[in-house]
Structure formats: structure tokens, C-alpha cells
Amino acid sequence: MEKESAEVKELGLSEEELFSHYDHNQYESEKVTAPRYSYWKSVFRVFFRQKINVVVLVLLALIIVFAYIYPAVTGYAANHEEMYNMNAADNSTKHLTPDKAISKFGFSLSWILGSGSQGQSTFDALWYGSSISITLALICALINMVIGILLGAVWGFSKKVDIVMTEVFNIVGNVPYVLIIGVLIQILSPSFWTLVFAMTVTGWLGIAYFIRTQVIVIRDREYNLASRCLGTPILRLTMKNILPFMTSVIVTLAAAEIPAYISFEVFLSYIGLGISDMTLGKIITQTQAFLAVPEWGFEYWSPIIVSSIIAIILYLVGQNLGDASDPKTHM
Amino acid sequence: MTKYLIKRILHGLISVIIVVMAVMLLVYNAIDREKIFMQDPLIQKKSSNEKEVYKYQAWEDYGYLDYVPYADWLKELVKNGEITEDTRAAVVKIAVKAEQDDPDVAEYVRRFTEYYEGKGYTVSRLDAVYQTNGATLVKGGSQRLFAYKNVPIIVRMWKYFTGVIKIDNIHYAEEVTGERGIKFTFHDPAYGGDKFSPAITGNGTKYRYLLYFDNRFPFIHQNLVTVNLGLSYSINYGVDVWDTMVLPQGAIVKADTYYPTGFVENSSNDLHTLRYSAGSLEKGGEFMSKRFVDDYTITTTEKNGLSKMGYSFIIGIIASLIAYLVGIPVGISMSRHQNKLIDKIGTAYIIFIIAVPSLAYIFMFRAIGMSFNWPVTFNGTPKAYILPVISLALKDIGGLMRWTRRYMIDQKNSDYVKFARSGGLSEPEIFRGHILKNAMIIIVHGIPGTILGALVGAIITESVYTVPGAGGMLVNAIQFYDNAATVGVAMFYALLSVTSLILGDVLMAMIDPRISFTSKGR
């Protein structure tokens, strides 16, 4: 004891500074000390804990840059038709493999994937098409998710709505999706917004049904029962008790939705129900015939590979974000 | 259980009816009816009034409206004995303009107008169209008189549903040689009459053979009950959608054919499909009388290929079988070795299948298959099935792996498994005896859907490998504005999906005693 205090004295501090009297404080004693917890901070902490997510995010950033900024910089976004047909008169520019295109035009990013049937740059056309496809997928997913989540929550809560909506779901679910889209495209014009309308007019039903099932599962749990007994209004119950619980489910769902719309757009173009814009699907469909010529196969595989990469990256980001947004992983 | 099933079936049928109504509203009312002529080569050659009338005729064929030309109405009157043939001939020709009509003609035109307007029709008279010089008619510009009325959706639906299933009866034919009736024979005359082959034949029925055997799968066939889903014109002109799906395709096959007269010929006519057609024996002249003894003369030709549905079903069912045999075991071992190498590889594969556009990976599989020298264009040989089957199976395997793994992992953390583990059971025992059985319940629910879904076909796979399957029918019908076919195919799909849901529930209740559809025992 003596020795210890001697050591403390060596620090050159007075006894008051080391130990000071503290009054008993009733309020302070009620406080429970726990590490500060912020939901979204934890989400990102968990998300970045996995190194692969950093790589995936960098790739996502690259995709965004190429799809949205690159066409604007090259001027492709502004006058894509003109750029597309730039070399149409010159036959020697058509169907070039990358090495031939680079040796013909000199090295630039535009020619690293060769040239297409009109002598256009495959790389430029591809990213411009990707931007349309990604935008389409994002808009459709956003509309469907918002309507689906809101209506799904109501659907799950109200038993009356449930009876009606389940019938509607059973009937609309049996009308082939392709039929609805095909008919709508024929009634209206094959334009971007028609496709958005066609994909969202019944597309939200599936999401709403999924959310409804989730809400029903959570709705009657004890903590909600307790909350309701204490007189919490339904709206606050939904917003504060149920939707936060479902954040990870919703993010995971959105992760699967966005690539699904890209994929569906490719499918629609392939079966001839696509839109007039040069989307990824349309590029794939148009270049499909070139597969028969061995040297031209590159033109077909480029959009296939790029669309696959975009879809996988979008899916991975969403999926891993969904995992990270599950509070159970925040320990 | 029975009561519940009947309720479910009725419920399903009602939703099918509503689906058909929704589809009819979509295709008949929402799409501009002028659009059906966009791909019609015939209309390009017509002009003026002829073009107009052609449109109404086409609309009647496609079920939009009821169209009656003036001449047909007069013929009907003759048939009913109200006027004589001479009167008809005298008044059938209307003048170029209404004012110039003969008094007699004007009277009949008035009656025609009155009769049909009274029934809610619109009567339309198109005056002759002259060329600018005023002397000669323009091509197709002669005067026309007709009545038309839009078919209301209720009437259309009633007609459709009452016509879907037709049961043959001996009063179908208007005139028959010999006595009406049904006969049973042990020696099918289509095989020459010596071979033992039981058959039921009818006289007065639509089809001659109501039940017969042959060497085609499933060997016993019937014509007693026929399905009519609506005439299609885009896929097979004038052939019913159902027949389009089930009739054999490919090259014709010739064999010794024993005609009813005893005449034997190497021909492709399939005498088992003999169908009644009034007056056909007489019209056919010597050619027909050499072969046939009565008006049962229409046959379909025998072909060596399978039907559209047949190809789709074979490819689909083999692919599903492979998918179940591979997907479930892999999913199980993924869940057993969670976060180990096999789980990671499997998850990567699942992500690939979910995220990548299906068109993209089918073409990847195609490119891989090409390097093995497997045929990429379908020709019906066993080898040609390899790639379509693999393309379909690899996709299904991904889905099955995903769900099997998910269910198994969910079960793994449940209380009964922890209890079993604390009771000292080994991991393989727990997996086999406890988790697998519970996880399989939901997997089993999808089996009827998979089997029936194989009938529908796979649209991209079939198109990439040029399989003549049923997958593209709906898209084809939509693109060609083939309304009857669209409705027919949509109804077929709806029926399949309703049936597979009910069967799935029943199957689930059969293997899991805890699931009960009656309120008793709960």
C-alpha cells in the first residue's frame, strides 16, 4: 500500500485529482450504460466488414460512371442515333474485332469491344443501352416496391382487405404477365414509359402479397400485442414496430427485383415485345444473328457478358446490404 | 376433405372464368380492331367497298361482331320457305344508290333494315364508288348492303364456355347412310379387319372412331370428348388451338391403309380420325367413292413427329426430373456444410442463375454444348434433346438448391432439432429423420406444378434451340392479334395453374398428417 501510493506520488499528481468524491445522483443511477447504437451506422459497419463488398461497391460505381456519365461525356446520350450511324456509309468499319477496330480508329475506350453492324462502337452503344435498361429497372422496382409495401402493409393488417385482395391476387396471378405486357404495348406505343406502365400495372401485386405474408407473421407477435394494448395507433405501429423489422427483407427483395427487371426486359425484347429504345435487350436480340458468323460472335457476347455483370453486381450489392441491414448481424 | 376439395375446385373454376373474361376484355375491347389487319396480306389487294366488307367478314371470323350481308338474309328466307327462289333472284341485286332501287328491291331492303335494326344491329349501305370520270366503278367499288352487331362479352363468353368441351353424339350428322348408333368391334376395320384390336365406332356421330387402339403413346385414344379452345389463324390457320397443341407434327408417314370400301393404298391418311362432312362423298366424285362408303371422309394425316405439347412435355419432364435428382441433394449438402466450400460454390451458382438474364445463360450453355458437338438446332433425334434439357435443368437446379438450402437451414435452428441433438442423435440421423422430412413438405408442394408446367413449354429455350414446342404459342398469338388463340392459351394456362395448386395442397396434406383441410382435429 505504502509502495503504491509512493508510485502514484511519482506521477506528480495530488490525491484530489486521482480520487474525488462524487455525490449520489438518483437520475444518473437510472441510466443503463451500453455502447451507443445507431442502426444505419451498424449497417454500414457490418457491410464494410466483408472485404468483397468494397470490391463490389467499386464495380457498382464503375457501372454507374460508364452507364450515366460516360455517354454524356462522349455525347452519345445527346445524339445517339447520329453516333450510331456515324460510320454507316463505310463498309470497312463494320463488324470489326477489337484489335482491328483499334488499329483502324486508333486506341480509344470506344473501340475496345470492336465495332458493330453499322460500324458503330459496340462499347458506346452498350453503355448507352445499359443506362436505359438500368433506369427502367430502377424506376419499375421503385414504383412496384413503394406501392407493394404500402398496400401490402394494409393488406396484412385489415382482414376485410385481405379477403378481397387475395381473390384479386389469385385472378390476376393467373393472367399471364406476358399477355398483359404484350397487350398494353400493342394498345399504347412500344415506348419506355409504356413498358414502365405495363410492368408496374400488376407487378406490385406479387410484392404486396409477399409483404402481406410478412406482416401477418409479425403482426400478432407479443411486442405488437403489447403495443396495441397500450393504445398505439395502427399507423405508428406499422411505421415504428413493423416496417423497421422488415427493412432487411425489403432490401433483399429489392436486390432480387432490380436484376429481374433487367432480365425481363431482355426476355421481352427477345420475344419481340420490346420497346423501340436501344436497350440491352434490344442489342442482344439484334446481334443474335451475328452468332452464326464466327468472327462476329464477339458483338453478341459483349452485351451478354455486360448485362450479366451488371445484373450480378446489382444483385450482390443489394443482397449484402440486405444481410447487413438485418439487426441480428449487428452483434 | 371431399367437401373442401369440391369447394376448392369450384373456386378455381370461377377464377378461371374471371381470367377468361379479363383476357377477353383485354384482347377484344382494348386493342384497336383495325390492328388485326396489319399483317394481313389479303387486305392489301382489296380496295374501296370490297375492303370495307372484307374487314367486317374478318371481324366476324375473329369473333368481334355478327355480320349479315343482305344476300345471306335472302337465302335464309328462301330456306325458311318465306319467299321463293325466283323472288330472291329478282330482289338480290340492289342499285348503286338507295334512291335508284326498284320498288320491289326497296321493299325487301326496307324489311331487311327493319328486321335487323329491330334486333339491335347497325345496317350499313355502301353506295357504289365511281372513278373520277364518273363512268366506271373503281376496283371493288360495287354497292354493298349488310347488317352488323358487336358481340357483347357475356354472349361471347357464353358461346365460348358452352363450346369448350363437346361430347360426340349420334345425332350430330344431318344425314347418315345406315342406322344411327354405336358399335363395338374386336377387329378394327382400319387394320384390314383381321387383326385383333377392339374399337368403338359410331354412325351419326362427328367422328367415326370413338375409342381405338394404335401404336402411338398412350396407345388407347378417344374421340368421344373433344376440347375446343378456339380457332387460331396465326399458328395453324383454321385449326383449333387445342388441336394445334396436341396434333403430331413433322414429316408425313405412309402406311398401308384399308379404306372402308376395301381399297388398300399406301397413304398417310389416319383412318382413325375419320370425321363427318355433309355431302363430301358426292362432292369428291370418283376419288372419294373408290375409298369411302359414306360421308365420313375427312382425316388428318399421320406424321412422324410429336405434338407441340409432346415435345415441350418430354423436355420439361426430363429436365425437372434431373433438377430434382440433383438440386435437392446438393441443396441438402449445402445446408449441412453451411459456409464451407460447397456452400460457397453453390451460392455463387444460385446467384448466377438468379441475377443473369436467362437468355444470356441459355446462350452460354449453348456455346458450351456446341464445343461438345451436340446439335444446337432441334431435329428430333435423342442427341438433340441434350441441350434443351440441360438448359432447362440447370435453371431449375438453381431454384431447387436455393429453396432446399433455405428450408433446411431454417429447420436446423428450430427447437425440435435442438431437442433431438440434446437427446444424443447424430447429425446424419437428425438430417435424414427430422430436418429433411419437414423441409421436403414445401418442396413437394411444387411437384404437381412442375409436372403440369412442363406442358406449357419453355419459351426462350425452345426458341433458342428451335424446338417445335408449345412455349411460344401465347406470344405468337399476341403478336398476330390472334384473339381466339390468345384466349384459348390463357385459359389453358389458368386451368393448369389452378389444378397444380390444388394438387399441391392435396399432396402436401397426404404426406404431412399435421396439415388438415377440415376444421376438425384442430
Q: What's A16-76 look like in SS3?
A: HHHCCCCCCCHHHHHCCCCCCCCHHHHHHHHHHHCHHHHHHHHHHHHHHHHHHHHHHHHCC
Residue B522's pLDDT band, with cuts at 50, 70 and 90, is very low
Q: B470 phi and psi, to 5 degrees? A: -90, -5
In A91-130, the residues whose Cβ lies within 8 Å of chain B are: none
Q: What is the mean pLDDT of residues B120-135?
A: 82
Q: Where are the beta strands (DSSP E) in B165-313?
A: 165-167, 181-185, 199-203, 209-213, 220-222, 225-227, 231-232, 239-240, 255-258, 264-267, 269-276, 296-301
Model confidence, pTM: 0.82
Q: Which residue from A207, A200, A171 is spatially nearest to A184, judged by alpha carbons? A: A200
Torsion of CA A265, A267, A269, A271, to 10 degrees: -150
pLDDT tens digits for range B219-276: 888 888 888 887 777 777 777 888 888 888 888 888 888 888 888 888 888 888 888 8
Q: How many CB atoms lie within 10 A of CB B21?
A: 17
Cα(B318)–Cα(A217) distance, rounded to whole angstroms?
A: 37
Cell of B495: 386451368
Q: Give the closest residue to A245 by CA, choosing from A322, A326, A319, A149.
A: A326
Q: What pLDDT was estimated at residue B229?
A: 82
Please give the pLDDT value at position A3: 55
Whether the CB-CB separation of B78 and B88 falls below 8 Å is answered with yes
Q: What is the CA radius of gyration of chain B?
A: 30
Please report, to the nearest 10 degrees, the dihedral formed by the alpha carbons of residues A94, A95, A97, A98 taken in order: 50
Distance in angstroms (rounded) separating the CA atoms of residues B19 and B28: 14
Structure confidence at residue A57 (pLDDT): 92
Alpha carbon B439 to its chain centroid, in Å, reads 36
Least confident of A88-97, A249-258, B279-288: A88-97
pLDDT average, residue stretch B433-457? 87
d(CA B521, CA B518): 8
Interchain CB contact of B30 with A (< 8 Å):
yes
List Cα–Cα distances, A185 to A189, A197, B62, B374, in angstroms. Answer: 6, 9, 21, 38
pLDDT band at B345 (very low <50, low <70, confident <90, very high): very high
Are the C-beta atoms of residues A311 and A259 closer than 8 Å to each other?
yes
pLDDT band of A17, cuts 50, 70, 90: low
CA distance A267 to chain B (A): 7
- Pick from B19, B27, B355: which is nearest to A259 by CB? B355
Q: What is the rounded CA–CA span in Å between residue A306 and residue B356?
A: 10
Query: Which chain B residues touch A308 with a CB distance below 8 Å?
Result: 355-357, 360-361
CA distances from B266 to A323, B192, B296, B305 (A): 70, 13, 19, 19
Q: Please indicate whether, in this complex, the C-beta atoms of A284 and B360 are within 8 angstroms of each other.
A: yes
Position A61 scores a pLDDT of: 93
Q: What percent of chain B has pLDDT over 70?
A: 98
Q: For residue B22, give the DSSP letter.
A: H
CA distances from B42 to A71, B34, B39, B54, B140 (A): 46, 14, 9, 9, 13
Tens-digit pLDDT profile for residues B351-382: 899 888 888 888 888 888 888 888 888 887 88
DSSP code for A13: -
- Residues B38 and B411: their CA atoms lie apart, in Å, by 57
Q: How far is B489 from chain A (nearest CA, A)?
A: 10
Mean pLDDT for B282-310 is: 83
Mean of all residue pLDDT scores within chain B:
85
pLDDT at B520: 47
Q: What is the mean pLDDT of residues A84-105?
A: 74
The pLDDT of residue B517 is above 70: no
Q: What is the 3-state secondary structure (H, E, C) of B433-446?
A: HHHHHHHHHHHHHC
pLDDT in tens, B156-178: 888 888 888 888 888 888 778 88
How far apart are alpha carbons B387 and B365 in whole angstroms? 8
Alpha-carbon gap, residue A310 to A314, rounded angstroms: 6
The answer to whether the CB of B361 falls within 8 A of the CB of B387 is no
Residues forming a β-bridge with B267: B255
When comparing pLDDT for A58 and B290, which is higher? Answer: A58
Out of B199-203, B329-333, B398-402, pick the least confident. B199-203
* Higher per-residue pLDDT: A328 or B396: B396
Residue B493 is inside which H or E element, if any?
Answer: helix B483-511
Of the candidates B22, B357, B360, which has its C-beta nearest A175's C-beta?
A: B22
Q: In 3-state terms, chain A is what percent helix, strand and coil (to 5)?
A: 75, 0, 25
Residue B203 DSSP SS3: strand
pLDDT value, residue B315: 93
Mutation site for B-interface testing, chosen from A271, A288, A301, A313 by largest number of B Cβ within 10 Å = A271
CA distance A178 to chain B (A): 7
Min CA distance, A305 vs chain B (Å)? 8
Residue matched to cell numbers 402481406: A212
- Bigger pLDDT: A45 or A21? A45
Q: Which of A174, A183, A284 sits opposite B19 (nearest CB)?
A: A174
Residue entry with cell 399406301: B266
The per-residue pLDDT for range A143-168, each reduced to its tens digit, is 999 999 989 988 888 888 888 888 88
Spatial separation of the C-alpha atoms in residues B211 and B186, rounded to whole Å? 12
Q: Tell whether the model's pLDDT for residue A72 goes beyond 70.
A: yes
Confidence of residue A116 (pLDDT cuts 50, 70, 90): confident
What does the alpha-carbon distance between residue A150 and residue B129 come to, in Å, rounded to a whole number? Answer: 61
By mean pLDDT, which of A111-125, A219-233, A302-316, B167-181 is the weakest?
Answer: A111-125
Nearest to B490 among A179, A273, A311 (CB): A179
458-477 in chain B: CB under 8 A from chain A: 459-460, 463, 472, 474-475
pLDDT in tens, A264-301: 998 988 888 888 888 888 888 888 878 777 777 778 88
With beta carbons under 8 A apart, name residues in chain A contacting B32.
Answer: 187
Distance separating alpha carbons of residues B149 and B381, to the nearest angstrom? 51
Beta-strand (E) ranges in B39-173?
A: 65-69, 122-126, 144-150, 165-167
Task: Determine the residue of chain B that is closest to A166 in CA distance.
Answer: B15
CA distance A132 to A80: 12
Closest CA to B402 of B463, B443, B341, B453: B443
Name the closest residue on chain B to residue A174, using Cα atoms: B494
Cα–Cα distance for residue pair B18/A272, rounded to 1 Å: 28
Model pLDDT, residue B519: 52
pLDDT, tens digit (0-9, with 9 covering 90-100), for A209-229: 989 888 888 888 888 889 989
The CA R_g of chain A, rounded to the nearest whole Å, is: 29
User: Which pLDDT does position B321 carry in this prediction?
Assistant: 95
Q: What is the pLDDT of residue B224?
A: 85
Burial (CB count within 10 angstroms: exposed 0-12, middle 13-18, buried 19+), residue A12: exposed
Q: CA–CA separation, B384 vs B305, rounded Å? A: 14
- Residues B235, B482: contact at Cβ < 8 Å? yes
State the smallest CA–CA distance between residue A59 and chain B in angstroms.
16
Q: How confident is the model at residue A1 (pLDDT cuts 50, 70, 90)?
A: very low
The distance of Cα B479 from the centroid of its chain, to the nearest Å, equals: 16
Chain A environment of B30 (Cβ under 8 Å): 183, 187
- B344 CA to chain A: closest CA distance, Å? 13
Q: What is the mean pLDDT of chain A?
A: 83
* Cβ(A270)–Cβ(A285) below 8 Å: yes
Assess B31–A contact: CB distance below 8 Å, yes or no. yes
Residue B521 pLDDT grade (very low, low, confident, very high; cuts 50, 70, 90): very low
Tell if the CB–CB gap between B357 and A262 is shorter than 8 Å. yes
- List chain A domain ranges: 50-86, 129-276
